[in-house]
């Protein structure tokens, strides 16, 4: 009896695994990360240090100096995509558990809350008030091309030799947060990444010193 029962269970298991195998093949799924995916994840990501970002922000000039400086600081301190930053309005600046957050609609209109340093949120709201912006007026009413030009010109004036562009500021925010927290999952949610593999690429920038410092800050009791 037991032999017959085991044979039945084995047959069911065999058919199930075979069906699952054909399903994954038909959908082009893989249980093992593809080589190209791993290569992307391990590639060193370019970034700016906080001091370099400060230099670039301070190099902004002209009648829109404050706006341009705020744009650079917002991209760095929140890690927003350029499209997300340019759609930011006063209504999207709020609080959660006593700290400032930005209510963002990311790719595919997926909503998320993004941590924003309280001093930056205060500056954004003060700027919007001084400019007489309504709750649904854009804080940065410029297009992507203009944003690229602002950042490029400011970086050239600052003397930074790296190639600077909006997404580099997002990378820089991600790396600084990872250095300070050592938490890739929290970073994935913060950035709005659909896949953890997109976030794992930032791990390659951590040094042994960063890793040791993070572990030393642990408290068990």
The SS3 assignment for 80 reads coil
113 Ramachandran zone, left/alpha/beta (phi>0; psi -120 to 50): beta
Please give the average per-residue pLDDT across 88-109, as a whole number.
93
Residues 6 or more apart in contact with residue 153 via CB below 8 angstroms: none
- Residue 42 is predicted with a pLDDT of 52
Active site residue 202: yes
Whether the predicted pLDDT of 202 surpasses 80: yes
Q: What is the pLDDT of residues 61-80, one digit of tens each?
A: 999 999 999 999 999 999 99
Report the run of H or E that residue 75 belongs to, with start and end: helix 65-78
The confidence band for 215, taking pLDDT boundaries of 50, 70 and 90, is: confident
Q: What is the pLDDT of residues 155-177, one digit of tens each?
A: 999 999 999 999 999 999 999 99
Rounded-to-integer distance, Cα 4 and Cα 67, Å: 77
The SS3 assignment for 72 reads helix
Active site residue 107: yes
Active site residue 81: yes
- Exposed / middle / buried, residue 132 (Cβ in 10 Å: 0-12, 13-18, 19+): exposed
Q: Write down the catalytic residue from 14, 21, 99, 167.
A: 167
The percentage of the chain sitting over the pLDDT mark of 70, rounded to a whole number, equals 81
The confidence band for 12, taking pLDDT boundaries of 50, 70 and 90, is: very low
Q: Which domains, ranges and CATH numbers included, belong to the chain?
A: 50-204 (1.10.443.10)
Residue burial 48-57, b: 16+ Cβ < 10 Å; e: rest: beeebbebbb
Residue 105's beta-bridge partner residues? 111
Whether this prediction's pTM lies above 0.95 is answered by: no
Whether the predicted pLDDT of 31 surpasses 60: no
Active site residue 167: yes
Q: Write down the catalytic residue from 92, 171, 177, 193.
A: 193
Q: Write down the catalytic residue from 18, 107, 122, 131.
A: 107
Residues 6 or more apart in contact with residue 193 via CB below 8 angstroms: 199
Report the run of H or E that residue 50 belongs to, with start and end: helix 50-58
Rounded-to-integer distance, Cα 91 and Cα 61, Å: 28
Active site residue 170: yes
Rounded-to-integer distance, Cα 128 and Cα 43, Å: 39
Active site residue 149: no
The SS3 assignment for 1 reads coil
Q: Write down the catalytic residue from 81, 125, 138, 179.
A: 81
Q: What is the pLDDT of residues 119-147, one digit of tens each?
A: 999 999 999 999 999 999 999 999 999 99
Whether the predicted pLDDT of 35 surpasses 60: no
């Amino acid at each position: 009896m037991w032999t017959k029962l085991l044979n039945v269970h084995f047959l069911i298991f065999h058919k199930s695994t075979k069906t699952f195998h054909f399903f994954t093949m038909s959908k082009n799924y893989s249980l093992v990360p593809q080589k190209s995916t791993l290569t992307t994840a391990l590639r060193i990501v370019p970034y700016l240090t906080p001091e370099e970002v400060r230099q670039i922000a301070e190099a902004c000039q002209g009648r829109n100096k404050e706006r341009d400086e705020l744009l650079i600081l917002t991209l760095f301190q929140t890690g927003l995509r350029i499209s997300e930053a340019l759609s930011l309005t006063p209504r999207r600046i709020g609080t959660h558990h006593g700290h400032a957050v930005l209510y963002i609609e990311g790719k595919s209109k997926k909503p998320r809350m993004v941590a924003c340093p309280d001093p930056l949120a205060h500056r954004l709201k003060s700027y919007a008030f001084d400019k007489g912006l309504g709750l649904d007026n854009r804080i940065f009413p410029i297009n992507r091309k203009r944003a690229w030009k602002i950042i490029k010109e400011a970086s050239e004036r600052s003397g930074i030799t790296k190639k600077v562009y909006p997404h580099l500021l997002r990378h820089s925010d991600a790396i600084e947060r990872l250095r300070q927290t050592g938490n890739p999952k929290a970073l994935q949610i913060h950035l709005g990444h659909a896949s953890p593999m997109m976030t794992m690429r930032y791990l390659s920038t951590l040094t042994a010193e960063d890793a040791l410092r993070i572990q030393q800050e642990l408290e068990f009791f």
